[in-house]
Structure 1
């Protein structure tokens, strides 16, 4: 055991002290928070106001186009030829021409501009005209627009879990997002840190350093120490990412909140603008719930301690299972180019797991979901997709036991290959040769 701890310490310290580890640990949260900060800044930042000239020959849309922060409308009283000539001399961004027969020929609308018109501008102009034409036709049929709006109802349901503990509000949306994020993190970590084990072993074998190490450490102890050492590096990086991201997000939120209006009346006015631009959510009086409170409520409806505990277990279990196989491949070959022929059987179950996860999200209690969350090669990803939706305790326990047994099996298999391949040089290895190594005494 002492030798294993020495190898773990060496693998951990060598990788943690690398400049690339420090850069990626610090840079990833900055890039993550910076990306969303830029998106939010662009979304809520100042928008250039576009000037739009409107020539309405039908006289039906006068005053229907309302000025906003993004667009300002100017109504013209002239012929289309004069309007075109004046538009070329003006600094307006677009000229909207509405002909007299717009009701009979709605496709006769014309928008002139010096450059291409943006989709937002085109959509907003068309939306105003469509709504007004719809009101006119409804009025002619004896139906007011208010009657039509009152007849439209958006149904919004609340999901509630019934269990022995009683009723508990649940959120399928939050479960889908959390399950997908956890599965993706495990999927990426298995690839990233598993290949680190493989390349580390290949480099030591190529440089002949391993010959010195093997003289004092058993091959199995060396392989196990490398696997656990890299796993600890991954956990360290994950923890630092979480802490740094949380700190940066809090700082960014504080900065953004300082930019928000402090006057309650002004804040209410801003919220009213947002609500006016949103569809009726089916709430009494058309009120819109607080989205922040809705998100927090959705997250609180999940069993967060269980999700975090299972994530750590399946992250370690999935990594240990696959990294043992990656380590065996690294010991069997002499360079990175030769690893490709042995990588496919290892990576296919990981890729299939990520593909199956898309179907499991649709039916988390189906037959496919059950069996793929039990089989050790797919359970780390699939079970993390299912857990936020609620999984019976016996299924989680069975999956965990089988994953531990799977790790022990792959470790034994990898050790049999590792003990022979680590000192094998200059020979092209085939699957038949690997099978012989497994049964060597």
Structure 2
């Protein structure tokens, strides 16, 4: 192992001195900040476009119901025919025409309502108008049954079930989903790093193999040391690039926001409209208390444990998958031949993301969530989705956390041992496209 540091240093310097590495390190933050700014301006321009819809209500059932808001303005048409209303809406370049025919009652009229427009309307626009119609029909029918107006107003109230544990501590709805999203973001970062930089390890092996440099190197270095050095050196180069990206992108976003005079929330496309901001400022005491509970719950997340776990799962997960990538690179002569092996490698990562979200959202301590958080090929992602809930009482049991890490270490050693056997044979094999049967034979070589 005395030559391992030299291999790591060689791989690291080879990566960071590569022209494409330098170009991507410099350009990627600029592209990310530019895309964020572009999304902000496009979203702002799109939100400023207000739809104008003409309303022809022949029965006067909905005369005062359709009211303007921030995204839609309604223009009433009166005492004209449908054809005239269509022509007027088209010539005025309105978004559409809502036609409410004259019926024997409001329910009959509502069943025959039509909306005329040049293009297919968005679901949000239709849902908004349908909600107004549905609410008006319900109120009229209830009034016909003799229900007083004050009762109608009370019927629109929302009722929520208050959740507490058996000791009287309040629990918040949706907090598990919020925590799963936080953990899922860390897990998604691990998945992207594995896919991008695992492929770097594979390409590096293929390049050295096809250039026959490997034959010279292997004469003085054991295959296992060479493979491990490539994995560690490439991962260090990737971490270096990620750190540079995070720091430079953060600085660029700050400078851009200061230059344009906008907040960071606006740059991300999440600007709070003035009406919503006023509503938040004027919210009731109960709502303010609930918001404070959500903030306190998020602040109570064991961020130190979560970040430590992220580093552990990040390292172990990357080492496992990069060993597989190195073995694949040693087994083939070009990147085209790697396609047959890539799907089985990426499949566990995809399952971890999708199954993890669905299972952890609904039941973070259910059998599916626990199983995927223990299975070594998916645990780096799924376990991170569960960890924001804490470790121990009310969170991930300590034995599950420890077991997942032990299984990761054991799996890493096993995969490295198997990958080294494939690597040892594959790096000196040329001109033959191996299949799974051939790889199995290589594993049996002593």
1:236 Cα offset (Å):
2.2
Aligned match of 2:5: 5
SS at match of 1:365: coil
- The alpha-carbon distance between structure 1 residues 417 and 201, as it changes in their structure 2 partners (threshold 3 A), is same
- The alpha-carbon distance between structure 1 residues 120 and 425, as it changes in their structure 2 partners (threshold 3 A), is closer
1:364 Cα offset (Å):
2.6
SS at match of 1:75: strand
Task: Say if 1:51 and 1:74, in contact at 8 Å, map to a contact too.
Answer: yes
Aligned match of 1:301: 300
Aligned match of 1:141: 145
SS at match of 1:55: strand
Aligned match of 1:386: 386
- TM score, norm. by length of structure 1: 0.80
1:415, 1:252 → 2: CA distance?
Answer: 48
1:111, 1:286 → 2: CA distance?
Answer: 40
1:256 has 2:257 as partner: no
How do residues 407-426 of structure 1 correspond to structure 2 at under 5 angstroms?
A: 407-426=412-431
Task: Say if 2:181 and 2:385, in contact at 8 Å, map to a contact too.
Answer: no
- The alpha-carbon distance between structure 1 residues 34 and 158, as it changes in their structure 2 partners (threshold 3 A), is farther
How do residues 350-361 of structure 1 correspond to structure 2 at under 5 angstroms?
A: 350-361=349-360
1:190 has 2:194 as partner: yes
* Cα shift readout 1:178-208 (whole Å, capped 9, x = no counterpart): 2222222222322222222122111101110
SS at match of 1:54: strand
2:72, 2:293 → 1: CA distance?
Answer: 32
- The alpha-carbon distance between structure 1 residues 88 and 369, as it changes in their structure 2 partners (threshold 3 A), is closer
1:115, 1:341 → 2: CA distance?
Answer: 44
- The alpha-carbon distance between structure 1 residues 272 and 136, as it changes in their structure 2 partners (threshold 3 A), is farther
SS at match of 1:407: helix
* Cα shift readout 1:48-90 (whole Å, capped 9, x = no counterpart): 3444443333334334333344444443442315545555554
Aligned match of 1:376: 376
1:117, 1:345 → 2: CA distance?
Answer: 42
- The alpha-carbon distance between structure 1 residues 60 and 323, as it changes in their structure 2 partners (threshold 3 A), is closer
Among 208, 211, 215, the alignment partner of 1:207 is 211
SS at match of 1:423: coil
Task: Say if 1:360 and 1:382, in contact at 8 Å, map to a contact too.
Answer: no
Number of equivalenced pairs: 425
- The alpha-carbon distance between structure 1 residues 54 and 383, as it changes in their structure 2 partners (threshold 3 A), is closer
2:264, 2:417 → 1: CA distance?
Answer: 58
1:98 Cα offset (Å):
3.1
- The alpha-carbon distance between structure 1 residues 92 and 407, as it changes in their structure 2 partners (threshold 3 A), is closer
Task: Say if 2:164 and 2:170, in contact at 8 Å, map to a contact too.
Answer: no
Worse-superposed segment, 191-200 or 375-384: 375-384
1:335 has 2:334 as partner: yes
1:175, 1:161 → 2: CA distance?
Answer: 22
Aligned match of 1:238: 242
> What's the Cα RMSD here?
3.8
2:74, 2:123 → 1: CA distance?
Answer: 17
Task: Say if 2:205 and 2:326, in contact at 8 Å, map to a contact too.
Answer: yes
Aligned match of 2:20: 20
1:432, 1:243 → 2: CA distance?
Answer: 46
Task: Say if 1:16 and 1:233, in contact at 8 Å, map to a contact too.
Answer: yes
1:325 has 2:327 as partner: no
Aligned match of 1:280: none
- The alpha-carbon distance between structure 1 residues 288 and 211, as it changes in their structure 2 partners (threshold 3 A), is same
2:52, 2:345 → 1: CA distance?
Answer: 60
Structure 2: unaligned runs, 5 residues or longer: 267-272, 390-394
1:179 has 2:178 as partner: no
Structure 1: unaligned runs, 5 residues or longer: 261-266, 277-282
SS at match of 2:301: coil
Worse-superposed segment, 377-386 or 51-60: 51-60
2:286, 2:347 → 1: CA distance?
Answer: 50
2:265, 2:431 → 1: CA distance?
Answer: 65
* Cα shift readout 1:391-417 (whole Å, capped 9, x = no counterpart): 223322232223222222222222233
Among 98, 101, 120, the alignment partner of 1:99 is 101
1:119, 1:423 → 2: CA distance?
Answer: 59
2:101, 2:344 → 1: CA distance?
Answer: 67
- TM score, norm. by length of structure 2: 0.79
1:176, 1:16 → 2: CA distance?
Answer: 35
2:277, 2:341 → 1: CA distance?
Answer: 58
Task: Say if 2:52 and 2:72, in contact at 8 Å, map to a contact too.
Answer: yes
* Cα shift readout 1:82-122 (whole Å, capped 9, x = no counterpart): 54555555454444443332513312334445665555444
Aligned match of 1:66: 67
- The alpha-carbon distance between structure 1 residues 274 and 26, as it changes in their structure 2 partners (threshold 3 A), is farther
SS at match of 1:79: coil
Task: Say if 1:138 and 1:145, in contact at 8 Å, map to a contact too.
Answer: no
SS at match of 2:7: helix
1:431, 1:112 → 2: CA distance?
Answer: 60
- The alpha-carbon distance between structure 1 residues 90 and 274, as it changes in their structure 2 partners (threshold 3 A), is farther
* Cα shift readout 1:275-313 (whole Å, capped 9, x = no counterpart): 99xxxxxx858857797x677445323211111111111
Among 228, 232, 235, the alignment partner of 2:232 is 228
